[in-house]
Chain A
Amino acid sequence: MTTISSLLNSYRAKKRHPKEVVEKLFAQLEKHNPKLNAYLTFNKLAIKEAAKITQFERPLAGIPIAIKDNFCTTGLRTTASAKLLDNFIPPYDATVITRLKQAGAIIIGKTNMDAWAHGSSTETSDYGTTKNPYDYQRVPGGSSGGSAAAVAAGLPPFAMGSETAGSIRLPAAWCGVVGLKPTYGRVSRYGVIAMGSSLDSPGPLTRSVADAALILQVIAGHDRFDATSSTEAVPNYLSPSTIKHKLTIGISDDYFEGVDKRVVEQFWAAMKIFEKLGHTLKKIKLINPKYSISIYTILQRAEVSSNLCRFDGIRFGHPRSAFSQQAKRRMMLGAFALSSGYYDAYYLKAQKARTLILNNFKEEFTKVDLIAAPTTPTPALKIGESENNPMFGEIMDQLVEASSIAGLPGISLPVGLTAGLPVGIQLIGPWFSEKKLVDLSLEFEQETQFSKIKPPHFYEI
């Protein structure tokens, strides 16, 4: 299996060169992307950039990576999958992009997403949905659907996504890959087209845990251009495991309400493995996800309605009439929640409820080290299945919303297939506990070898 380490090793041993890797990747994408629709824009300079590399000391030297199309990339079209921005060419790089480039990574292209990240399926992309590599009749999840699909198909197996609530973890679960959502503030948001300013967290999607850790290592850390980015020290995520004693993993009953029983089955099978590895499961009480849906809907849509005010068609993009219905829907509810007369009952109330969520997690983390739950209530839906529900996204994300609202880190791990479709479980940790999440995930991966599970359409780079 190709990982970042194995690629770097082959480069250093002069067995392979990035140019050849990237060329072959593009050849495959030319064949498969038209159907898969994972990418919106390709970086035409990628092969040239790959060819130039002669040294391989840097942590991601010559590693091809797909970038979700809400990261600003200089000179490379960035649309957030919205027609309104179909001609936007940023004059600057997001900090994440700067760090990836400095680490030697080669940007292959920009991946498809729900337009403006407003969704959990990628169907609301203004450029058509991406297909799920496990079943082309199904969606990959969203909003980082393009990245998840690319990674699942190995095209390449490394990608950047972002999560406001679920946008990394859900598509990771539906596409059977690893999705790591860092603590809010762990990774700079500078240059990421904002959705929910107090929630957005850029993070990697990969096939292996080590790869996610390696990418996080490169992108994590304080950024003076993002006032909400943390100065908390970045540990070495791939140093030997910090798990000296076995962990206690918390599980809350509320997180099984309305969950497909096949998913529940897979979840418990995974929990058995944690027990086999010597860890203990413990019952905890988390606030019911139905409240998270409400809190998240208000906070996110309010911040969305505000963040989309800068799109007035004067300095870039098309006029506001180019907004899709989904974007309008979210902005309307958001503006309502902030409007005079309703602010206290909705926005302020939701921010207060947020404190309850935070306190709940703080309390439960005194009893357990990490929390586990299914990532999603169901496996991947069929294309078109979600259309009639105005709150589809928020409902599908109910199991990840609380941790996002609290700014906690979470990782979704593939645990197996059910009726041929991937199922994911998530581990949630206290703030800045990514190291612990990585350590436990590595154990799990070692034991289950989940990266061996591949979709019918898969390419080993």
Chain B
Amino acid sequence: MKYKTILGLETHIELKTEQKMFCGCSANYFGKLPNTNICPVCLGLPGALPVPNAQAIAWTILIAKALNCKINLESYFERKHYFYPDLPKGYQISQYLKPFGYNGYLKIGGKRINIERVHLEEDTGKLVHGQGAHSFESAVDFNRSSVPLVEIVTRPDLEGSNDAVAYLKALQLLVKYLGVSNADMEKGSMRCEPNISLVEKTAWNKNHQLPNYKIEVKNINSFKFVKKAIDFEEKRQALLLDEGKTPKQETRRYLESTGKTEAMRSKENAHDYRYFPEPDIPPFAFTQEYLVQIEKQLEQTELPKERIIRLKEECKLTSEAAQVLTENKELGDKFLELLSSTLEFSPIDIANLLINKKVALNQATEQIMAEIRKLLTKTEIKKGQLEDAVSNVLRAQPKAVADYHLGKGNSLQFLLGQVLRVVGRQVEVGKVIAELKTQLNRS
């Protein structure tokens, strides 16, 4: 590849606080009838004033700390001005010069993605477009207006769509484990805007100078589309660069239907946000004690990397099982809940049932346990049956037997599997292993 991709991600995470960012309306707006979840403040009525949500701020700092950021103990909100129908005040209360968090990082695999800033702002309403007879109409629903939104901006350290997806998944998981957001891309509680440009590899290797343009892509609402959009942009930009042209610096929109990006109307590109400190909201001066409280909370929260260790070491699960139960937090939570309510069954067995979707989880714990009990209770096997099954298998697998005597580790596991195939998995595994060892050591 002639070009190196310079990629940065701007992610917005909707916080699942009880109330909105600057008023007491419910932050849980999903599924509500339009314009029923509003008040004078989030509707931007004349005379209305914002009062900040303490929990949203605490959670923003929690996220920032989890991302290894430095924290601005003295901070404030600023007004970011632009006109759009879904922005009731004609400005968004956001942060600019002094974000709550800055200079952090998130590790994906061995790579360190630097985080420039973590700041807090309010969400906008939703613009909806008419259908059918009203297809030329646009309408606004302000239910979502002023829900708390955390903005996380990386430095352009990502190198392509795989990095992007890995980063987003890691961030999503982190935020879920912190308990501050559902971070669901399809539902809009997590949104991502990549900033992409390409630079010729030889030029980059010389002096690491960033290219003189970057393209922002909006309207992406799944990990799959993140990959598609970035891949498409890479190709599009490469073609232009090959022709000796510099891609136009602009904001483009991803189109699900075609898998391509298109330029947005230039009106939306020209912005002088005229930032200035929000006069309606006094500044913040956090104490060390406050920060220490949040750090304690972080310490006491099990993060993904800690859960995976717990699952492997305490619960003795395999790496694969541990990974599945970590990445699917709800499943992992269920697993740990079930485990804590019984000593009857081995963690591995319960884990396998959950991972392989052998039990319906949308029922009460007692009912789940009952099903598990049914599935895991070993059937009794007559000694003679077992002896026969084992000797048959040993006769049929001379190589494995030889391997066993040579000390090769997996041979026993393999033979066990072969026996279980015959006698069925409901048999007491320990008994089978014991019989196998007896017969093997005889031969």
- A-to-B contact residues, CB < 8 Å: 70-72, 78, 80, 85, 88, 90-92, 94, 189-194, 197-198, 224-228, 302-303, 305-306, 308-312, 314-316, 335, 338-340, 343, 347
Contacts and interface: CB of A to CB of B under 8 A. Distances in A.
Contact of B44 (A192, A310, A343): A310
Contact of A189 (B49, B85, B140, B281): B49
B91 A227 contact: no
A310 B90 contact: yes
B253 to A, nearest CB: 23
Contacts of A305: 274
Given A80-B46, A315-B44, 18 more contacts: A85-B46, A88-B46, A91-B45, A92-B45, A189-B49, A190-B47, A191-B47, A226-B49, A227-B280, A227-B281, A303-B279, A306-B79, A306-B274, A310-B46, A315-B142, A316-B46, A339-B272, A343-B274
Nearest to B281: A227
B88 interface: yes
Nearest to A299: B279
Contacts of A340: 272, 274
29 contacts: A70-B47, A72-B45, A72-B47, A85-B46, A92-B40, A190-B48, A190-B49, A191-B47, A192-B47, A193-B47, A197-B280, A198-B279, A226-B49, A226-B51, A226-B280, A228-B281, A228-B282, A309-B81, A309-B90, A310-B90, A311-B90, A312-B83, A314-B85, A314-B140, A315-B44, A338-B81, A338-B274, A338-B275, A347-B276
B69 interface: no
Interface string B62-100: 000000000000000001010101001111000000000
Given A306-B79, A343-B276, A194 B47 contact: yes
Q: Is chain A's binding surface mostly helix, strand, loop or mixed?
A: loop
B44 A227 contact: no
Most chain B CB atoms below 10 A, which of A85, A306, A340: A306
A8 B148 CA distance: 48
B43 interface: yes
Contact of A225 (B51, B52, B282): B51
B160 interface: no
Contacts of B52: 227
A320 to B, nearest CB: 9
Given A303-B279, A310-B88, A315 B45 contact: yes
B50 interface: yes
A188 to B, nearest CB: 9
Contacts, number: 97
Most chain B CB atoms below 10 A, which of A80, A191, A308: A191
A263 to B, nearest CB: 33
Nearest to B84: A312
A339 B276 CA distance: 10
B55 to A, nearest CB: 16
A344 to B, nearest CB: 11
Q: Is chain B's binding surface mostly helix, strand, loop or mixed?
A: loop
A227 B40 contact: no
A338 B276 contact: yes
B81 A197 contact: no
B132 to A, nearest CB: 23
Contacts of B48: 190-191
A323 to B, nearest CB: 13
Contacts of A343: 274-276
Contacts of A347: 276
Contacts of B272: 339-340
A330 to B, nearest CB: 15
Interface string B137-163: 000101000000000000000000000
B127 to A, nearest CB: 11
A91 to B, nearest CB: 7
Contacts of B47: 70-72, 90, 94, 189-194
A306 to B, nearest CB: 6
Interface string B117-149: 000000000000000000000001010000000
Given A190-B47, A315-B44, A310 B276 contact: no
A348 B89 CA distance: 23
A192 B81 CA distance: 21
Nearest to A194: B47
A359 B47 CA distance: 30
A424 B25 CA distance: 46
Given A92-B40, A227-B51, A306-B91, A312 B85 contact: yes
Contact of A227 (B46, B85, B276, B282): B282
A315 B280 contact: no
B81 A91 contact: no
Nearest to B91: A309
Most chain A CB atoms below 10 A, which of B47, B275, B282: B47
A197 B46 contact: no
Contacts of A190: 47-49
Nearest to A334: B274
B40 A91 contact: yes
Contacts of A316: 45-46
Contact of B46 (A194, A224, A225, A228): A194
Given A227-B52, A227-B280, A340-B274, A193 B46 contact: yes
B90 A312 contact: yes
Contacts of B46: 72, 78, 80, 85, 88, 90, 193-194, 310-311, 316
A227 B278 CA distance: 11
B282 A302 contact: no
A300 B279 CA distance: 11
A405 to B, nearest CB: 13
A190 B276 CA distance: 21
A200 B83 CA distance: 25
Given A198-B279, A306-B91, A338-B276, A227 B50 contact: yes
B276 A302 contact: yes
B374 to A, nearest CB: 56
B49 A225 contact: yes
A355 to B, nearest CB: 14
B52 to A, nearest CB: 7
A194 B49 CA distance: 9
A199 B394 CA distance: 91
A218 B59 CA distance: 38
Nearest to A94: B47
Nearest to B90: A309
A192 B40 CA distance: 12
Contacts of B90: 306, 308-312
Contacts of B51: 224-227
Contacts of B45: 72, 90-92, 315-316
Contacts of A70: 47
B280 A310 contact: no
Interface string B239-275: 0000000000000000000000000000000001011
B86 to A, nearest CB: 9
A71 B142 CA distance: 24
Interface in B278-292: 279-282
B274 A335 contact: yes
Contacts of A312: 83, 85, 90
A154 to B, nearest CB: 29
A90 B39 CA distance: 12
A309 B49 contact: no
Nearest to B23: A225
A311 B274 CA distance: 17
A44 B91 CA distance: 36
Contacts of A227: 49-52, 280-282
Most chain A CB atoms below 10 A, which of B44, B49, B51, B280: B49
Nearest to A305: B274
A92 B81 CA distance: 26
Most chain A CB atoms below 10 A, which of B46, B47, B83, B85: B46
A315 B192 CA distance: 29
Contacts of A191: 47-48
A340 B88 CA distance: 23
Interface in B17-64: 40, 43-52
A339 B85 contact: no
